[in-house]
Structure 1
Amino acid sequence: MSSVKALEMLKKVLDFSVKRGGFDHVFEKTKLVSAGDGKCVAEMVVEKQHTNAFNMLHGGFTASAIDLFSSIAVLTHPKIFEDIDEHSESGVSVDIHVKYLASAKIGDEIIINADTVKLGRNLAFLEVTMIRKADNVIIAKGAQTKFVG
């Protein structure tokens, strides 16, 4: 699958998720930058809706971003879907871990790098790194295992 085709289709997947009326609306201003071969990169600016009571990036938002963008990354893996559409499903989470390493405040630009580390017959092993763009500080690292069989 070409990375251009993957990026186009994943933008539709993200748009569908945001507009369906669920929790994913918090990702409405997240921009997919690249996608393909089991990877995706997204960027966003931290806004008030993404923060906790201390105006710092909320841990729950971070965990949700790790879940969403690793799920989007696995959709681009050639073994999963040859023809992605906006209603494609990426499997079911079996396990998710987040390491919170630094903070981000309102106005900080964030880069989200998601990667399919291994894809087996039934399980996908995924990793995500969130980086503060201004100084390349790692904000969080996440790992997720998904049932994809």
Structure 2
Amino acid sequence: MSTEEQPISIQENVEQVKITSVSKGHVSASLRVESNHLNSKNTLHGTVTTCIIDWMGSMVIASHGLQKTGVSTDIHASFVGFAAEGEELIIEGRSEKIGRSLAFVSVMIEKVKEGGERQVVSKGSHTKYIN
């Protein structure tokens, strides 16, 4: 890393996500893949993907009106495809169950292909202790 390069923080990665719609138990967002989101193979880095799943889990829980979104007990990511710089990602989060002490959220990350067709990049789940 040159002296001019500054590492990108995790917070800066999710600050670039744009929330497009929110309803109780469902949040939609988008993100254009930029150079700071890439791994050494110039595709979306797994840590960025997992960070998005973590962040989206909290957003979906907040959509239920909860003031505190809890702490993570489990995060799972399946890397199904890839995304390259300049591609637009659509991120969908849904609550599977919000109980008294645990919340279960599923997250789908897809890239938008030419013509508007979507292709899965990653599927994730996030479980949080919310009590």
TM-score, normalised to structure 2's length? 0.87
Q: Distance in 2 between matches of 1:34 and 1:96?
A: 23
SS at match of 1:90: coil
Q: Which amino acid aligns with 2:127?
A: T
Q: Distance in 1 between matches of 2:15 and 2:26?
A: 20
Q: Distance in 1 between matches of 2:108 and 2:128?
A: 17
Answer whether contact 2:14 2:55 (CA < 8 A) is retained: no
Structure 2 match to 1:60: 47
Q: How does 1:71-110 map to 2 (within 5 A)?
A: 71-78=58-65, 80-81=66-67, 89-110=68-89
**Runs (4+) off by over 4 Å:** none
Q: Which amino acid aligns with 2:118?
A: N
State the percentage of identical aligned residues: 33
Structure 2 match to 1:12: none
Q: Distance in 2 between matches of 1:99 and 1:59?
A: 10
Unaligned runs of 5+ in 1: 1-21, 82-88
Structure 2 match to 1:4: none
Q: How does 1:14-33 map to 2 (within 5 A)?
A: 23-33=10-20
Cα-Cα RMSD: 1.4
How far residue 28 of structure 1 moved from its aligned partner, in angstroms, is 2.4
1:132 and 2:93 are equivalent in the alignment? no
Unaligned runs of 5+ in 2: 1-8
Q: Which amino acid aligns with 2:84?
A: K
TM-score, normalised to structure 1's length? 0.77
Q: Which amino acid aligns with 1:63?
A: T
How far residue 29 of structure 1 moved from its aligned partner, in angstroms, is 2.0
How far residue 23 of structure 1 moved from its aligned partner, in angstroms, is 2.4
Aligned residues: 121
Q: Which amino acid aligns with 1:90?
A: T
Q: Which amino acid aligns with 1:70?
A: G
Structure 1 match to 2:130: 148
How far residue 144 of structure 1 moved from its aligned partner, in angstroms, is 0.9
Tell me which protein shows more strand as a share of its residues: 2
